[in-house]
Amino acid sequence: MKMISNALYAVVLLVILAGCNSLRGTGDMGVVIERATGSVQIIETTQQTKLSQVDGLGDLSHASIVFSRDERFAYVFGRDGGLTKIDLLTAKIDKRIIQSGNSIGGAISQDGRLVAVSNYTPGGVKVFDADTLKLVADIPATYGKQKQQSKVVGLVDAPGQKFVFSLYDAGEIWIADFSQADEPEITRFRDIGKQPYDGLITPDGRFYIAGLFGEDGLALLDLWHLEKGVKGILRDYGRGSKKMPVYKMPHLEGWAMTEDYAFLPAVGRNEVLIVDRRNWKQVATLPVHGQPVFVMARPDGRQVWVNFAYPRNDTVQVIDTEQLQIVKTLKPGKAVLHMEFTPRGEHVWISARDAGKVTVYDTGSFKVITTLPMKKPSGIFFTSRAHRIGL
């Protein structure tokens, strides 16, 4: 009898140990959007492999993702207004709701308790409990005498349990402060410029910047000094007198900040704009292969990587931030849509939609580490975003 129970214990112990082996952290995981099939691939960046696929996420064109602060859950914001919470460890949909007709992006609050979604129609922001996805607050972006609702763009989180966003049709920036109650206090800044099309917050959480489509320049808000209001910067710059058509709106989320400079995509020009971070004055422009879409700094700030709009979108260029010149031109394949650095920047993952693959490059040698076949891959998001302001 004793013998048998000992053997049983051994078996039970083995099972437990085997279970332990499959425990894992999520800090090296990420999610790649497959935009045509409404699915995502869960990946890991240590061995550079696909772990599992999650289906049933709806229209994922222009989809984006934020992560829970424990880096276990991914919140996927779909174009069709879907908000899906995915458990990265079980590779299952934890919860899914359709929260509006047409959404564009999202953010997670400083304390991780609230998830906000910005919508085109009806225009506004909706805020949900991150745990249950129950509606906490509805903020219609109403403006003007007719009480129209504006499309909302450039939604980010800011320190102090705030969300900041821009109203495309109204030309306004709003701050929704949730620090006191689930009924937010709204601060409105009017006449910030024509057609803000996207926004970003600096990595320290201090400055919110909206790119303007309808006029030259950008709108800058110092969140430490709201009393100073919104200031126009780089007014002599933007699309300029010789306006070129824009075949894809640039994204500001990835605006690159190094210690001294900010690198910005020029709207409608084959240029990257280099700006002095202390006074927001332009110091140089760098001619590049096409109209920049994402301009992203490697985490150490030594390199800036740029991809381009249709029809020049098979190329990626690398700028050395010390020499301020292009040091490498790569061809990852047709329709490069997104780039994501590993947390410390040794690798970058690049999606090429029409080539149907994600390529992992070594950022030092520019050698291809591996390629992973995927169906129309677009956005790539790593869990390390969970701990960065504005992502």
Q: Which residues bind another protein (CB under 8 A)?
A: 35-36, 59-62, 79-80, 102, 104, 120-121, 151, 168, 195, 197, 213-214, 245-249, 310-311, 335, 353-354, 376
Between 102 and 161, CB nearer to another protein:
102
Tell me the closest approach of the beta carbon of residue 165 to ligand HEC, in angstroms: 19
3-class DSSP state of 296: strand
Helix (H) or strand (E) holding 52: strand 49-54
Query: Rounded to whole angstroms, what are the CA distances from 239 to 46, 62, 201, 234, 340?
Result: 41, 24, 22, 11, 27
Between 36 and 51, CB nearer to another protein:
36
Of residues 127, 146, 153, the one with CA closest to residue 138: 127
Pair 336, 314: CB distance under 8 Å: yes
Q: Where are the alpha helices (DSSP H) in 110-221?
A: none
3-class DSSP state of 210: strand
Tell me the closest approach of the beta carbon of residue 104 to another protein, in angstroms: 7
Between 210 and 374, CB nearer to ligand HEC:
210
Tell me the closest approach of the beta carbon of residue 326 to another protein, in angstroms: 25
CA distance 381 to 349: 10
| Ramachandran region, residue 204 (left: φ > 0; alpha: ψ -120 to 50; beta: rest) | alpha
User: Which entry of another protein, ligand HEC, none binds 214, CB below 5 to 8 A by partner kind?
Assistant: another protein
User: Which entry of ligand HEC, another protein, none binds 287, CB below 5 to 8 A by partner kind?
Assistant: none
Rg (alpha carbons) of the chain, rounded to whole number: 22
Asked if 280 is part of the footprint of ligand HEC (rule: CB under 6 A), the reply reads no
Which residues, 238 to 277, sit near ligand HEC by CB under 6 A? Answer: 246-249
User: Which entry of ligand HEC, another protein, none binds 366, CB below 5 to 8 A by partner kind?
Assistant: none
CA distance 315 to 335: 8
Tell me the closest approach of the beta carbon of residue 245 to another protein, in angstroms: 3
Tell me the closest approach of the beta carbon of residue 314 to another protein, in angstroms: 13
Between 249 and 369, CB nearer to ligand HEC:
249
User: Which entry of another protein, ligand HEC, none binds 206, CB below 5 to 8 A by partner kind?
Assistant: none
Between 151 and 298, CB nearer to ligand HEC:
151
CA distance 281 to 279: 5
Strands 368-373 and 357-362 come out as antiparallel
Between 93 and 249, CB nearer to ligand HEC:
249
Pair 103, 87: CB distance under 8 Å: no
Tell me the closest approach of the beta carbon of residue 315 to ligand HEC, in angstroms: 19
User: Which entry of ligand HEC, another protein, none binds 253, CB below 5 to 8 A by partner kind?
Assistant: none
Between 141 and 257, CB nearer to another protein:
141
Between 97 and 249, CB nearer to ligand HEC:
249
Q: DSSP of 28-39, one letter per residue? A: TEEEEEETTTTE
Which residues, 178 to 217, sit near ligand HEC by CB under 6 A? Answer: none
Instruction: Please give the backbone phi and psi of residue 11, each rounded to the nearest 5 degrees, phi first.
Output: -65, -45
Tell me the closest approach of the beta carbon of residue 379 to another protein, in angstroms: 12
Q: Which amino acid is at 75?
A: Y
Sheet holding 39-44, edge to edge: 49-54, 39-44, 29-34, 377-382
Tell me the closest approach of the beta carbon of residue 135 to another protein, in angstroms: 23
Chain residues in the site for ligand HEC (CB under 6 A): 246-249
